[in-house]
Every structure is written in C-alpha cells, then in structure tokens.
Amino acid sequence: MNNKKKCNSNIIYDPSKWTKTHYVQNSHNCYAYALNNVDKNIANTCKQIYSKKKTCVSLRPKPGRYNKYNIPSSKRLTCKGIQDSVFKDNESVYKLNSNNEICKPNYYKIALAVQPQKTYHFYRQDNDCSWSHKDGPKKPTQLDASNNRISDPKFANRHYNHANYSDFCGYMCVPDNHHKKTNMI
C-alpha cells in the first residue's frame, strides 16, 4: 500500500499560518496545531500581555480546558488522560487502532505522545501524507528530533532536548474545521 492510500487529509502544511504574527506563534501550541485552529482572541490577548510577561504560555490551549474536564493530576499527563481530555473537548474526534487505518471523509489524523507525568505532544498528518508538528512557541516543522522528515510519529525520534515523548499513545481522527468545528481554549 502506498503512502497516499493511508491518508485523506485536506490540511495543507503551511507554517506561515502559525508564524504570521509573533502573538499567534507564541500563544498556539501543538494542540492548537493538531486541531488546525488559530484563535484570534487568544492571539489578541497575547498581544496585550506579551510586553509585560514576555510569554503567552498561560494562553496556550490545553486538552480538556474547553469543557472544564478535571481529572486527578496523577492521570492527567498519561496517554489515557490526554486522550480522554481531547474527547471531552471534541466529541466528534475518534481513535484509530493503527496508522494504516484511514479517517472517514472530511477528517484527518493526529497522533499523540507523552512524557509521562511531565508533558504531551501532538502531531498532525497533512495532505501530502507526511506529518508535522508545532512545539510550543516554535515554528511548525515536518522534522523529528533527529531532523528527519516524519513519515510516522510512532517511529520518529521524539527525544528532544527539552522533553522525551517516550510513550506513543496512538492516532485519532479530527474533523476538518470546514466540516465540523473543533473546540479548544
């Protein structure tokens, strides 16, 4: 099976969407990127507070925040905890068993990995069937921690200087925002 048959994403890899202003880049993270959501309100709030704080980390979307989903901290930064939080925010998101499965029409794949009890990271499959991600305030990239192009985040090097996303959690399908809006804050 060739790579084209493993995806049906309509999402175009366009880093400029995420770097058009410093405030968008600084206030949007991997979760926003995976959902393909640029929130102008978040960017505007970042613009207001950045001169004093020099960061907008508190504004970056977090899984579960939209629906005020609270789980015990011991379960929050685990594969199940983050996935459950995504599902609470977005009931139309669903889990896949493998990267070989194809999302239904108007959906695309995302993948999740965690550094248990520390942090999480999302990847997104783009229309060319490659994968990309946006790490915190950084620019989007199609490269892993070894600077190799990501063909599957499960097998990519996820051990960065600042985090080791050692636990691969799996794949999910997300609706294209033109089909069904996704939620985050």
pLDDT for 75: 84
Q: Is 143 within the bounds of a domain?
A: yes
Q: How many CB atoms lie within 10 A of CB 155?
A: 12
pLDDT for 47: 95
- Residues spanned by the domain of 158: 9-175
Q: Is 181 within the bounds of a domain?
A: no
Residue 136 Cα to chain centre, angstroms: 10
Nearest Cα neighbor of 89 from 18, 9, 35, 169 is 35
CA distances from 96 to 59, 169, 175, 184 (A): 29, 11, 14, 21
pLDDT in tens, 1-45: 344 457 889 999 999 999 999 999 999 999 999 999 999 999 999
Q: Is 182 within the bounds of a domain?
A: no
How far apart (Å, rounded) are the C-alpha atoms in residues 168 and 155? 9
pLDDT for 178: 85
Q: Is 126 within the bounds of a domain?
A: yes
pLDDT at 61 over 70: yes
Q: Is 180 within the bounds of a domain?
A: no
pLDDT in tens, 110-163: 999 999 999 999 999 999 999 999 999 999 999 999 999 999 999 999 999 999
Mean pLDDT of 41-70: 93
Nearest Cα neighbor of 111 from 83, 90, 85, 81 is 83
Here the tokens at position 136 are: 């915190």
pLDDT at 182 over 50: yes
pLDDT in tens, 163-173: 999 999 999 99
Q: Is 44 within the bounds of a domain?
A: yes
How far apart (Å, rounded) are the C-alpha atoms in residues 38 and 159? 27
pLDDT in tens, 79-110: 999 999 999 999 999 999 999 999 999 999 99
Structural domains in the chain (count): 1
The b-or-e profile of 44-81 (16+ CB within 10 A means b, else e) is: ebbbeebeeeeebeebbbbbbbbeebebeeeebbbbeb
79 secondary structure, DSSP code? H
Burial grade of 182 (CB within 10 A; 0-12, 13-18, 19 or more): buried
Q: Is 72 within the bounds of a domain?
A: yes
pLDDT for 177: 87
pLDDT for 45: 97
